[in-house]
Structure 1
Amino acid sequence: MAPETMLQEAQDKSTTKGAQTVARPKGDGVKRDSQTPSTPSKPGPGMRSDSFVFGIPQNGLEHIEREVPVSEPPPLPQNSELTYVGKPTVRYDGPAKATGKGKYTADVHLPGMLYARMVDATIPHGRIVSIDTSAAEKLPGVRAVHVIEHVYGVSELRDPKLETPSRYPIVRYAGQPIAGIAATTQQIADDAAKLVKVQYDTMPFVVERNAARSPDAPVVFPGPADAAGSAGGGGGPKDVPQKGNVHGPQRRLKGDPEKGFADADAVVEAEYFTQVQTHSALETHGFVVDWKPEEVTVYASTQGTSSVRNEFADVFKLPKSKVRVITEYMGGGFGAKFGAGNEGVVAANLSRKANAPVRLMLDRRQEHIVSNRPDSHQKLKIGAKRDGTLTAIQLTSYGTAGVGTGAGTAGPATNLYKCDNLLTEEYDVFINAGPGAAFRAPGHPQGCFAFEQAIDELAVKLKMDPLVLRDKIDESPARRVERQVILERTNWRNRREAGADSGPIKRGMGIAQSVWYRFVNMNSSCEVRVSRDGSVELMSAVQDLGTGTKTILAQIVGEEFGIPPAQVVVRIGDTRYPIGPDSGGSITAGSITPAVRNAAYQARQQLFAAVAPALGTTADNLAMQGGRVVLKNDAGKSYTLKQVTAKLPTDEISARATRAPEYSKDRLTYGGVDYVELAVDTETGRVHIEKVFGAHDCGRPINPTGVISQINGGILQGISYALFEQRIMDPKAGYMLNANLENYKILGAREVPEIEIALVENYIAQSSTDAAGIGESAGIITLAAAIGNAFYNATGVRIRKIPMTPANVLAALGKAQPEVEA
């Protein structure tokens, strides 16, 4: 099941009982309920019962019984008892990246390779009458030209007959790909692209969300249209209504919200606005494709080698066995890099036509257009009793993913806190702009900006400390521990009344919480090889986005064999290896690490069985202790791994393992609590973040250094989203005005605050590693909301619109007109 489908199922459920279960260990003074994991009565065939560490250390740990496959290794103890897992570890590939030895897609140079350039539409909406490529084809050095017949990554009409038949795809946004050109140099390809003459029959367009909602707005599609999601999320259901450009609502109803509001002692209601954010990854989308009849080799900047292989096979009607995808290194994706995409399909067609490898990397302008985080206009209403109990939540949101869908924002409102009465209605608004794509916790930063500010406003109405209110309504024991960490290790106890500073510089502090979900991809396999010379290799098609996947896999194998992680040879990112999961929705660590540990364990057991006769003992009398192989019945005898492998009767042994199902069906969530200190200059409108403290959980942290790095990155991205980033469209010309990194502002070094992170271990007894991802909940969800709450504490004024540019800040303070709302 794709992550976006699992996310939908998660959002359709209204409480976090799985998380409630996870951290209520015996002896913590908390009454246990029916959600507490039960002890299996009798293992089934091929299964055994084992005792797993369970709970959160701050609450006190216990052991629970789980029924697991007999091929699984023994349960891991908590991290404090391990040698490599759970210990801060330097990046496995850090030296290669720092010295330039690591090869990214743009670094791939194959013999006879050609360079490609995309030709993009210069209008926002219209039909292509003709495309003349003759001048481009005549340019010396041009080897192939390909005109696009189908555009990928956009919504598709439910009834294609509603569209006037055309030889070429309808142009629905400026920058939409039209053709590709391959030449012997990049400059020639760029020059040739300018020689392509395209004649258009222009059509009316709209590039602003509010304008597109108008009944008389130009329609982006002549009828209902739907977009499929990617492995990272996005898309949406295909059964929602559509009127004009307004696609929806996707509706969820629980209980009786009207009665809930009638029963409330306090109600808060407001509107919130968030902007479109582009992904701005360091490495743009790109491919090198080498088309040969026997095999198509694809070097891709991708988050999913398997999803790229599958899409290439589907588009070109090839068996998967004839498509090889390689991703040695990549420079970030954030959710937008899955599948072949238009650029991959164009590169493949050019390679096939030219009979030569072709490299096609998008330029920075194209990268800004190809994908984005949708914006939002949210109307949110929350009711509560005097004691803080939530009685009703009602959310209506409109967002645009351009010519795509997936602009929903209801995740936080639906899943953060228990509420018996809930109504959410989410609408996608089509405009003539590039498609949205999954972007670190799709929908959650937008939803959290509104929801967590409203919770703070509710706390003010109820005259409660915001942390105390959350203690009353939040059933997640992990976040309860995280709030306690915030209380103990920040300046929260000294928080003053809102607007307490008298001068123009006003300081404040605020918090916000996040929620994310445990997703597992069963297409997660690996092979571990042990050679006679003592070398240990791990192979899997899973790729490393730059998040440290190679490092944690090396740690796990190192733990099983008693060797430092740096001595493990990690070979990943190649579909010739066993299939690995696509990396989206924080799915990677929780999916692949159990398979890796299981394969390493099974390889070690094979090793013991193979060498035991040469050691004069039996396999079950051998164990790994302190980095050496020991005889259980003779503590004085021990061997290094190399001494043991030298006795192998063959040159190597290997074991392959695939991800086993979760040990229980408990629904689990993760999250964090982020604290912000800031200063607001009420004369200039500048907001400066001075300190961020984050407390987060993600199951068992395999590499705390890597987890903290991910959270740091999420925090910086969250600050950038809250204060600076904003796509600006020209409403008259229909194109993006700031499609570069000069005018599209992102956070820089001077805006980086002091950051401190505390990790909360959360042992959930769900797999052989208990690992989970952190990419979604790592600061990116909460920061805009936490900054908004700190802004109120500093100024006494609510700010309900981001980015918090000087113009928007001064408008919130009543000192200027707000920016025009899109």
Structure 2
Amino acid sequence: MSADAFEQRSLSAGIVGDAVKQVTRKVPQGEPPPWPANAELQVVGKDVPRMDALDKVTGRARYTFDVQLPGMLYARTLNSTLPHARIKSIDTSRAEKHPGVRAVHVLDRLLMAAELRDPGDEAREPYPIVRFTGQPIAAVAATSARAAEAALALIRVEYEPMPHVTEFEAAIDPGSPPVFPGPTEQQATAGGGGAAKGLPQKGNLRGPSKGGSRGEIERGFKEADVVVEGEYRTQVQTHTPLEPHGVVADWRDEELTIYASTQHVMSVRDEAAEIFKLPKEKIRAVSDYTGGGFGAKYGIGNYGTLAIHLSRKARAPVRLVLDRREEHVSVGNRPSTLQRLKIGAKRDGSLTAIELHSFGTGGVAAGAGVGMCHHSMYPCPNVSIEHYDVFTNAGPCAAFRGPGQTQGIFAFEQAIDAVAARLGIDPVAMRDKIDTRDADDVRARAAERRIGAEKIGWSRRRAPGSDAGPIKRGIGMAQSMWPYIVNSYTTCEIRIAGDGTVEAFCGTQDIGTGTRTVFAQVVAEELGLRAEDVRVHVGDSRFPPGPPSGGSRVTSSLTPAARNAAHAAARDIASRVAPLLKAPPDELIFKNGRIERRGDSTISVGFAEALRRAGIETLVHRADRRDDYEGYARKAGELNISPHAIGGVQFAEVCVDTQTGAVKVERIVAVHDCGRPINPKLVESQILGGVTQGVSYALYEDRRLDAATGVQLNANIDQYKIVGSRETPHIEVHLIELLGGQSSTDARGVAEPANVATAAAIANAFFNATGKRIYTLPMTPANVLAALRAE
């Protein structure tokens, strides 16, 4: 679009019902007029039931595991039994002859792991070096899963064991066995991850990365009236979705169809095209339904690569779905961290210095950071950050709902509370003082703190450790922050048939968040229809490009493109119907299934009838996601990072048994903003899920490896403890409708901020209950009792 194709518009910005003002924005010509507040809309802002709910509860929804194709084969993977080894030989001959076996493939390239900067640092081997127990090596496709399993047992692998290290702190020691023999690099993938290029590496320690540092840290601490320090530890958390990773690969006639449980059909297609040297137009990726994805379900993965190779060899479709052990071990996790954090502040609470030395291990992968909260959440002139990746012989990390930020906020928001305690300032008042990053965002978070404090009963909060006896209760809070992200390559298409059928297309996917419903609501609002009148088509790479389901970016990316396409279709229809109604096109509005003249509902015609009478057979309109009206603070490939953010505040009420070390979270109050809530019930559902996942992280989840063998001891859904119905607290969700004047819908996501503050809020409530800080996650009885005994 040319530089002069813009116009100045006055738009509403602020909290609806509280502080809405008019702002001037530079808006691309052709953008729809701004919507009013949700209360004045017909479909948007309403609790429309999930459009796919009936399909899911009746079993009609087709997940990857449900895909059945003629002649389909079943694949299983062979995984390493050692944590570090060279593979001297692999003999698959017996497996190939086993009854029912149609193909065997040995993996020649490992995805998701860091790679040597100089391949010459390691002797060239015929097979990838084994660097963790459970690393995929080969796979077999057979006419039944039982035959494939039996064939796996016939494969002979000769290993040359190598020294290994699986424990985080042992790996930091310069004398520990190196996971990689030289410096490494790791590119980011569609799901994020990766690490800064060119960092020094000594042994298993890679770094430091100093992103976010500024000012003079020593001067900042000299100016401080109080200084607090703490060492915080967080554990490895595995993703554990209800539906494990899986694909059905169907390679026929030099065209490839991949049915995948994925968060991004486009990246599945693109990675397959790169690895198998196929044109993208020869590949189709499909994801009708995905049973959970928290950051690790991007691309094709090692399991997808194996399935595609097997399909090509067997000339038949191949299904490969991971079992629970493989799901825990090999496809990604939230990395563990060690954070040494020091904060200086003046007597009025203003921050003078933040110093962080952090270490994170993503096993054989880099990118185990602690987020951006330390340098971007609250203003501070002097910030020093040094982060190191620590390699271990363990499975790779991957993006996980608020990657890095969840670990970072656990430490940072506790440290802010510790500063408030030293200064004798109420924790809510402390944040009212220091939270001055952005005017509109600040007003939203101030309102959220006020609402949350009122709902939780903050005024009844007593001094830390006040309860007599062994059972102690406390209330705490923590603040959430996540970038407001927009995906550049998002296009929506609206097709309207002459009989009134409306279809909406986008190559995004619905991983259970309600994307189909939100898409339909936006289109229906513009066309004056009900959401159920719009047929939504997503989850197919042959549709117009859509955003990945990650980083809280789907709603912010999809809805403006959807509205703009529907608006173009509506104006096209209006221009054709205008002669029938003897009214100017600009005066025709779409409402309640009809097209009528603004201000005179007697001049109207039904939507479908209008199409018939105007002789319309088919209309097709497409629209791309345009840039936000204020632009972006930063662009990185397909990612556009707004200067604004997505916020939220969570309050927790806990009960601590100081004799047994048991912690029970009794109540969470979560107050959040996500721009304009397109469907408040779905937003609430997202927050309920994020809080529940946060409680599980805070109290229970913990991957445990055997140091001698590298075997995960709890790679199941029995010993790997996840919060259940009995442990889930009462959760109250309160939403703020925050207009920003940024796009034609002003909608943002909420998945990440719903999760990142929960553990910190629980930890601060623990301090209020006991008078002791809990520095280590998860809050198991052993960790709790150790915290209570600490000086």
Structure-1-length-normalised TM-score = 0.93
1:641 CA displacement: 1.0
Within a 5 Å distance, the mapping from 1:636-651 to structure 2 comes to 636-651=602-617
Taking the aligned partners of 1:281 and 1:459, their CA distance within structure 2 comes to 38
Other-structure match for 1:439: 400
Measured in 2, the distance between the counterparts of 1:634 and 1:787 equals: 56
Aligned position for 2:32: 73
Query: Is 1:319 equivalent to 2:279 in the alignment?
Result: yes
Does the 8 Å contact 1:395/1:410 carry over to 2?
no
**Counterpart residue identity of residue 479, structure 1:** R
CA distance in 1, matches of 2:761, 2:348: 23
Q: Equivalent of 1:805, from 756, 780, 786?
A: 780
Q: Which residue of 2 aligns with 1:383?
A: 344
* Cα shift at 1:239: 1.7
Residues in 2 aligned to 1:123 and 1:633: alpha-carbon distance in whole angstroms: 75
Measure how far apart 1:50 and its partner are: 2.5
Residues 148-199 of structure 1, C-alpha deviation per residue, up to 9 Å, x if partnerless? 1101111010000011111001001111110111011111112211221111
- Aligned to 1:273, which of 233, 251, 254? 233
Aligned to 2:349, the other structure's residue is in SS state coil
Change (3 A) 1:775 1:392: same
SS at match of 1:166: coil
Post-superposition offset of 1:297 = 0.6
Of 283, 305, 319, the match for 1:345: 305
Q: Which residue of 2 aligns with 1:611?
A: 577
Q: Which residue number in structure 2 is paired with residue 30 of structure 1?
A: none
SS in 2 for 1:789: helix
Partner residue of 2:758? 783
Contact 1:122 1:174 in 2 (8 A): yes
How big is the shift at 1:609? 2.1
Counterpart amino acid of residue 625 in structure 2 = R
CA–CA separation in structure 2 for the residues paired with 1:522 and 1:793: 44
Aligned mate of 1:364, from 324, 328, 332 = 324
Q: 2-side partners of 1:434 and 1:577: how far apart?
A: 34
Q: Equivalent residue for 1:246? A: 205
Q: Distance in 2 between matches of 1:150 and 1:126?
A: 16
Matching residue within 219, 231, 234 for 1:259:
219
SS in 2 for 1:398: strand
1:321-350, Cα deviation, whole Å (9 max, x unpaired) = 001011110011101011111111111110
- Is 1:495 matched up with 2:454? no
d(CA) in 1 for partners of 2:354, 2:618: 60
Q: Helix, strand or coil for the counterpart of 1:558?
A: helix
1:458 & 1:319 partners in 2: Cα distance? Answer: 57
Aligned letter for 1:546?
G
In the TM superposition, residue 648 of structure 1 has moved relative to its aligned partner by 3.8
1:132 and 2:91 matched: yes
Larger mean Cα displacement after TM superposition, 371-380 or 47-56: 47-56
Quick check: 2:581–2:603 contact (8 Å CA) kept in 1? no
Distance 1:635 1:352 in 2: 61
Cα pair 1:553 1:593 within 8 Å, conserved: yes
Letter in 2 for 1:755: I
What is the aligned partner in structure 1 of residue 638 from structure 2?
Answer: none
The Cα of 1:564 is off from its aligned counterpart by: 1.1
Q: CA deviation at 1:241?
A: 0.9
Q: How does 1:206-605 map to 2 (within 5 A)?
A: 206-252=165-211, 253-369=213-329, 370-475=331-436, 476-605=442-571
**Percent identity of the aligned residues?**
52
Does the 8 Å contact 2:453/2:651 carry over to 1? no
1:15-94 → structure 2 map (5 Å cutoff): 45-94=4-53
CA deviation after TM superposition for structure 1 residue 610, in Å: 2.7
**What is the SS of the residue equivalent to 1:501?**
coil
Deviations 1:219-277 (A, max 9, x none): 00000112222223211111211110001110142111111111111110010110000
With structure 2 as the length reference, what TM-score do the two structures score?
A: 0.96
Q: Kindly tell me: are residues 633 and 422 of structure 1, through their superposed partners in 2, closer, same or farther at Cα, counting changes over 3 Å? A: closer
Q: CA deviation at 1:44?
A: 5.2
**Which amino acid is 1:730 matched to?**
D
Q: Is the 8 A contact 1:415 1:515 kept in 2?
A: no
Distance 1:57 1:635, change over 3 A: closer
Task: Work out whether 1:753 is the aligned partner of 2:713.
Answer: no
Matched AA of 2:648: G
Shift of 1:58: 5.0
Supply the distance in 1 between the matched residues of 2:598 and 2:772 (Cα, whole angstroms): 68
- Given that 1:272 and 1:377 are in contact with CA atoms closer than 8 Å, whether structure 2 keeps it comes out as yes
Q: Which amino acid aligns with 2:594?
A: R
1:111-146 per-residue CA deviation (whole Å, 9 max, x = no partner) reads: 111111111111100110111111211111110001
State the distance in 2 between where 1:241 and 1:258 align: 25
Contact kept? 2:133, 2:709, Cα under 8 Å? no
Structure 2 equivalent of residue 7 of structure 1? none
Contact 1:376 1:397 in 2 (8 A): yes
Quote the offset at 1:651 in angstroms: 1.9
Q: Is the 8 A contact 2:581 2:604 kept in 1?
A: no
Distance 1:51 1:598, change over 3 A: same
How far the C-alpha of 1:108 sits from its partner, in A, is 0.4
Q: Which amino acid aligns with 1:693?
A: V
The corresponding residue for 1:187 is 146
C-alpha distance in 1 between matches for 2:284 and 2:614 = 33
Which region of structure 1 is more displaced relative to structure 2, 486-495 or 801-810? 486-495
Q: Which moved more, 1:483-492 or 1:569-578?
A: 483-492
Distance apart, 1:736 and its partner CA = 1.0
Give the gaps of 5 or more residues in structure 1: 1-42, 817-822
Q: CA deviation at 1:106?
A: 0.5
Deviation of the 1:640 alpha carbon? 1.7
Q: Note if 1:167 corresponds to 2:119.
A: no
C-alpha separation in 2, matches of 1:565 and 1:206: 55
- 1:617 CA drift (Å): 4.3
Give 1:420 deviation, angstroms. Answer: 0.4
Q: Is the 8 A contact 1:324 1:575 kept in 2?
A: yes
**Native 8 Å contact 1:261 1:391 kept in 2:** yes
Residues 672-711 of structure 1: pairs in structure 2 closer than 5 A: 672-711=648-687
Measure how far apart 1:409 and its partner are. Answer: 0.9
Question: C-alpha offsets along residues 732-779 of structure 1, whole Å, 9 cap, x if unaligned?
Answer: 11221111111110001100111101111111111111111111101x
Separation in 2, partners of 1:278, 1:705: 28
Which residue is equivalent to 1:712?
688
Take 1:48 and 1:537, find their aligned partners in 2: how far apart are those partners? 31
- How many residues of Structure 1 are paired with residues of Structure 2 in the alignment? 773
Shift of 1:48: 2.7
Separation in 2 of the partners of 1:161 and 1:226? 14
Q: What amino acid maps onto 2:433 in structure 1?
A: K
* Cα deviation digits, residues 46-85 of structure 1 (max 9, x gap): 3233222111125411222222222221111111111111
The C-alpha deviation readout for 1:458-479, integer Å capped at 9, x for no partner, is: 1110001000001000022211
Contact 1:128 1:198 in 2 (8 A): yes
CA distance in 1, matches of 2:414, 2:525: 44
Take 1:231 and 1:130, find their aligned partners in 2: how far apart are those partners? 33
1:627 Cα deviation after fit: 4.1
Q: Is the 1:58–1:481 contact (alpha carbons within 8 Å) kept by the matching residues of 2?
A: no
Q: 1:760 to 1:213 in 2, by over 3 A?
A: same
Q: Give the structure 2 partner of residue 658 of structure 1.
A: 624
Return closer, same or farther for 1:634/1:494 CA change in 2, 3 Å cut-off: closer
Residue 65 of structure 2 corresponds to: 106
Partner Cα separation in structure 1 for residue 551 and residue 410 of structure 2? 20
Q: Distance in 2 between matches of 1:616 and 1:671?
A: 48
Q: Is the 8 A contact 1:277 1:374 kept in 2?
A: yes
User: RMSD over aligned Cα, in angstroms?
Assistant: 1.4
Counterpart CA distance in 2 for 1:580 and 1:499 is 51
Look up the match of 1:38: none
1:230–1:438 contact (8 Å) kept in structure 2: no
Correspondence for 1:32? none
Indicate how the Cα distance of structure 1 residues 201 and 212 shifts in structure 2: closer, same or farther if over 3 A, else same: same
User: What CA deviation, in whole Å up to 9, does each residue of 1:454-501 have, x standing for no partner?
Assistant: 111111100010000010000222111100111222211110011111
Q: Which residue of 2 aligns with 1:792?
A: 767
| 1:532 and 1:648 in contact (8 A); partners too | no
